[in-house]
Structure 1
Amino acid sequence: MTVKAKSSSTKPSGKVTVYFKKKGQKTVKTSTGSLKNGSKALNVKKLKKGTWKIYVKYSAGSGYSSVSSKYVGTVKITK
């Protein structure tokens, strides 16, 4: 996962959390990490079959705005 600034040479820092939500389930799978130079590789536990919505929460470092929860896409697990 990479977090990019719109118009700055400074790379974002802070913490990013990725949430995976499946229709009909109240529980979510999450993965959290601290950004270094604007990016962070995150490992996600295996997701069960189905379509999952992906949301991101960003707790900003200095000079950036935090994002409480933003929908970024879906992933469909077939196996």
Structure 2
Amino acid sequence: MLSVDQTIVNGHIRIFSDAVMLMFGSYYCMNISYPAAQASTLEFLQRCLFKINPDKGSKVDRNTTKRKLIIIQ
């Protein structure tokens, strides 16, 4: 399901690919950074599998002390 501010917006998502598309769309529409623990995985999925490559910037919050993610294309 997709919820915004604790309100269910779409509770009938049956197909996994639809759920993933809604998740990525939500991050971009609401301008939210990826959670630090999942940032590398989500960035990989975004760039390598879904071919969503912004010209500049990233949805990974760079304020953490973790190593930077480098993607070679």
- Larger relative contact order, structure 1 or 2 (CA cutoff 8 Å, min sep 6): 1
Tell me, yes or no, whether TM beats 0.5.
no
Structure with greater helix share of residues:
2
Question: What's the TM-score, normalizing by structure 1?
Answer: 0.20
Question: What's the TM-score, normalizing by structure 2?
Answer: 0.21
